[in-house]
Structure 1
Amino acid sequence: MAEYYIGEIFTLLLMSLALSMDAFSVSLGMGMQQLRLKRIALIGIVIGIFHVMMPFIGILLGKFVSDSIGDFAIIAGGLLLIGIGIQMMINAFIQDDSKMIRPIGFGLLVIALTVSLDSFSIGLGLGMSGVKTALAIILFGISSTMLTWLGLYLGRKVHGFIGKYSEILGGSILCGLGIQILIG
């Protein structure tokens, strides 16, 4: 029984890190702008809040859908994870950083919403599979906040050459988790 909970925590932790790779990648680019540490802290918190809200809404909707369509929901959830993972990997190669939105006011909300949209989709899949909601959204919020801060800080120090690779890694993790759901 304890192994089941440890496995679920480990899986959710990997998933939260994979979902946070978008935020990390975007924050690397934003970090190259001249941002004060206070602004960096605010950006990380706002993105973390969105990474809590979006999957929570998705989980609630996923549970509703799961009750309606039964076992098909697990297959749909696994396929959804694989699809999002593939999309993340493809977007890593076609990303255009020349139109970077400034992380201030409405621009910050747009950035936070954009990088957390995949969390909504993942939430749908998780809700269909009956995940522990509180654990999932806490891990999503913490990991996205921490990786955003890390990306913003590293963006100040490094010149963007690892952004693409972090999205590829995140996408491959999501694909692996989707395959695990389908097989399991």
Structure 2
Amino acid sequence: MNFYSLMIIAIALSLDAFGVALSIGLNPHVKASNKIGFIISFGFFQFILSFIGAYAGYLFTSFASVPSIIGGIIIAIVGVMMIKEGFEEKEECMLLKKSMYLILGISVSIDALVVGFVTLNSIISISILLTDTIIIGVTTLILTSIAFLLTKYLNKVQFICKYADFIGGTILILFGFKMMFF
């Protein structure tokens, strides 16, 4: 696979993480340390799941779309929970729980598992496979960081700040549906 094709795949895979990072970053309770945790989680799981997918695709030759459906359902559920949280006046934000790094990191990266399974499995050399999947992970790190930087400016808009949970939850639900049906 040439570098141009790899970058197109890496950017396409990173867009789910970018959208989820935008919705997370709109929440005023999410601190810089939480954002860094999500950036690392999203990048790591994009890397590891694309690597596992490619290796599994090398070992097996069948394909199923079930992982995308499961990831979409999880992201949509988190979106519904964020909207519900918007109606409640609580001190603790759901996104600040440590388990959310794992849950959302895996959810936005399940498509990387499938893409690795289908696309990257033809790579013969483990070093090339490792390099390609690292590029996917680093691309996700960069795009997720950009998303969080954008939310720094979006949070200054009063309307967005006031309805952040609703906007973020709606974005997550839409991404969940996209993963499940498109």
Which position in structure 1 is the counterpart of 2:87? none
Identical aligned pairs, as a percentage? 21
Which position in structure 1 is the counterpart of 2:38? 43
Q: How many correspondences in the alignment? A: 144
Quote how far apart the aligned CAs of 1:129 are: 2.9
Gaps of 5+ in 2: 83-93, 155-159, 161-166
Which position in structure 2 is the counterpart of 1:16? 10
Quote how far apart the aligned CAs of 1:130 are: 2.5
RMSD after superposition: 3.3
What is the identity, as a one-letter code, of the residue corresponding to 2:40?
Answer: I
State how 1:103-118 maps to structure 2 within 5 Å. Answer: 103-118=96-111
User: Does 2:119 match 1:126?
Assistant: yes
Which position in structure 2 is the counterpart of 1:62? 57
User: Does 2:134 match 1:141?
Assistant: no
Q: For 2:4 and 2:22, locate their aligned partners in 1 and report how far apart those are by CA, in whole Å.
A: 26
Q: For 2:143 and 2:109, locate their aligned partners in 1 and report how far apart those are by CA, in whole Å.
A: 13
| CA shift in 2, pair 1:23/1:9, >3 Å | same
SS at match of 1:40: helix
Instruction: State the 4+ residue runs in structure 1 displaced beyond 6 angstroms.
Output: none
Q: For 1:103 and 1:134, locate their aligned partners in 2 and report how far apart those are by CA, in whole Å.
A: 32
Q: For 1:113 and 1:103, locate their aligned partners in 2 and report how far apart those are by CA, in whole Å.
A: 17
Q: TM-score, normalised by structure 1?
A: 0.64
